[in-house]
Chain A
Amino acid sequence: MKLLFSIMSFSYLFSALLIFIGITIKSQRLQFYAKFVFFVSFLENLAYFFYRWQKAGHIPVTDAFTSFVFFVLCIALFQVIFIKKSNGFIILFSSILISFTLFGLSIAGFNENIQPLIPALKSNWLAIHVITSFLAYAAFSINFLVGLYILYSSKLKSDYIISSFFFGILLSGLFTSIVKYLLNYNILITGVLIFLLVFGGLIYFHKPYKPVPKEVLVKPIYIGFPLLTTGIITGSIWAKYAWGGYWSWDPKEIWSLITWIVYLIYIHYNVKGKSMRFLSYLALIGFVSIMITYLGVNFIMPGLHSYASK
């Protein structure tokens, strides 16, 4: 199982590397091969997911390690669906985000062993609630990556500095976790240095890129929002059976409602015809609220969903 996980992580990284070279040397053929490698990585990810499901006897999304694996699988699934139409940059950023998550996961020290379920999780609502929620997170993550690309390709200094900051975190996180994975060497200070280097490099080498159509930015929201709504509704029904009430003002519930509100505002502003730049900034806010819902709540705030931090 560990071998498959490593193959999958390196395979996503390889697709990122290939597409990066393809974009740099403007080779369409290399970009096509990179997309193919990405597709193969997705299949490996899928195989890993189903293998764990078969071993555990339940859908593997009930602890931190498996939920991260499922999260990257959802991002890859969306990219595979739209791979023909997808911009090379968006595939590159998705591969970087996925590789960063997987390499980060392999050094984070989460319990990788299959854990049995507590009674509250032994429910048929588990699969539908988690699948819809994670698919929504994945769609919003793609919206965030497209938003970052739009801001990075902008001529305004503030836009590409903010975008470079987020890309800097992603890329330095990826490099740091690869070094830690390969050398088993604690490199927090080196990580900060890598971040400064990447951040500086992105600003120095910045140039306005070809803009993407508005549809590419907004479409993931129209996929993610109904999924998140379904996730919240199914979660409420499950909570009624498990804890006796549809809504308990648990931190996870609160932050999923905040995320829902952010994207509700997003949709209304899109209908009102706000600029892509404005919507890209909203995408950043939305992604931050997702990260708080997904990570902050699991690891910082205790609540009914605390089992997910194990």
Chain B
Amino acid sequence: MRLNKVYNILKSLNLTIFLLILIAFMIAISSFQSLYPTFLKSIGFYNIYYSFCFQLTIILFVINLIACTISLIPKTKGLFEVPIKSQKNFKFKNIEDKKEHFKSLLKAKKLFFYEKNNVILVHKYPVRKFAVYFIHLSILIIAVGALITSLFGFRGVLILKNNKPTNLVYLANSSMIHLPFYIESKNFSIKYYKKGSVPKEYKTTGFIVNNNKKIQFQIRVIRCTPLSSQKFLIFYSPFMLLPVYLSYKHS
């Protein structure tokens, strides 16, 4: 009985709406963090996406989504079961001929139909009835993926200056980690279309030093393509139009 009550709460649309509004509210406040970092840090909304509270909301949302999807199954199943009582009754003398004629008409209209005990079940777009499951499943995959990344992955900024090898990464929660390899950039340069105008090309050479092995790389970015160098994928990140960061991650 109590379990039923919990299930009813978990599958309710009201809970979905509440969680969606809560997620929207949290990220909306956090989106102002580049403008008011001190204030948002003081109220605990700075980088809320990596906080336990946000992760918990996402977990609850995932549970709610699963419960909602399960609760829809009997309804969808019911749509494809031939009802005991039909909605429209037709009386004919020669029933078989008329039935065949009726079926060919349904076929011509490209309608889905199923027959049992002289009752014909007709659907206009049967695939549509399953669309909701595909959509819920895709949201679920994205949410679970985001949770896994958020719990086990990391993302940060590594400030790379010319001729200064580094392995220090600044994480979103203001902590730092040391990567198991060093990266060194040499001769970083930017070409502009006109002097001081829009960047046209980023160019650098450098090394990734891993277990005393130097892996050389050369980057020339003129189009949106990442550099692939053995174990690493290197991207450039023109944040706030200052193309001075290189972000990278394990391939």
Tell me, yes or no, whether A2 is within 8 Å of chain B by CB.
no
How far is B240's CA from A301's CA once the two chains are assembled, in angstroms? 10
> In the docked arrangement, what's the CA distance between A59 and B34, Å?
30
* Nearest chain A residue, comparing its CB with the CB of B246: A244
How many residues of B are counted as interface, with CB atoms below 8 angstroms from the partner's CB atoms? 41
Q: How far is the CA of A273 from the CA of B97 in the complex (A)?
A: 41
Q: How many residues of A contact B (CB 8 A)?
A: 37
A301 contact set on B, CB distance < 8 A? 31-32, 34-35
Q: Is the CB of B66 closer than 8 A to any CB of chain A?
A: no
Q: Is the CB of B249 within 8 A of A119?
A: no
Q: Given A120-B224, A121-B224, decide whether A243 and B17 contact each other with a Cβ distance below 8 A.
A: no
* Chain B positions within 8 Å of A249 at CB level: 27, 30, 47, 49
Q: How far is the CA of A300 from the CA of B249 in the complex (A)?
A: 30
Q: Is the CB of A243 within 8 A of B237?
A: yes
Task: Tell me the dominant secondary structure on chain B's binding face.
Answer: mixed
Q: Chain A interface secondary structure, helix, strand, loop or mixed? A: helix
Does B226 lie within 8 Å of A241, measured CB to CB? yes
Tell whether A268 pairs with B24 under 8 Å between CB atoms, given A116-B193, A249-B49: no
A-B contact count (CB 8 A): 97
Task: Judge whether B199 is part of the interface by a CB distance below 8 angstroms.
Answer: yes
A208 within 8 A of B: no
Do B28 and A254 have beta carbons less than 8 Å apart?
yes
Roughly how many angstroms separate A81 CA and B54 CA in the complex, as a whole number?
Answer: 42
**What sequence of 0s and 1s flags, for each residue 257-275 of chain A, a beta carbon within 8 Å of any chain B beta carbon?**
1100110110010001000
> Once the chains bind, are A300 and B226 in contact (CB under 8 Å)?
no
Q: Contact check: which of B31, B235, B240 meets A243 at CB < 8 Å?
A: B235
Which chain B residue has the least Cβ–Cβ distance from A236? Answer: B142
A119 to B222, CA, bound (A): 5
Chain B residues positioned under 8 Å from A122 (CB to CB) = 222-224
Find chain B residues with CB under 8 A from A254 CB. Answer: 27-28, 30-31
A39, B1: Cα distance in complex, Å = 62
Contacts of A303 in B (CB 8 A): 34, 239-240
CB of B31 within 8 A of CB of A255, answer yes
Across the interface, B223 reaches (CB within 8 A) one of A116, A119, A262, A264, namely A119
Chain A CB within 8 A of B13 CB = yes
Query: Is B115 positioned at the interface, with any CB of A under 8 Å from its CB?
Result: no
Please name the 8 residue pairs, one residue from A and one from B, whose CB atoms are nearest each other, closest first: A244-B235, A123-B224, A254-B31, A122-B223, A251-B31, A116-B193, A244-B247, A261-B24
Complex A-B: 12 CB contacts under 8 Å = A118-B199, A119-B199, A120-B238, A244-B226, A244-B237, A249-B49, A257-B27, A268-B17, A297-B31, A300-B35, A302-B34, A303-B240
Interface residues, chain B, CB within 8 Å of chain A?
A: 13, 16-17, 20-21, 23-24, 27-28, 30-32, 34-35, 47, 49, 146, 155, 193, 198-202, 221-226, 233, 235-241, 247-249
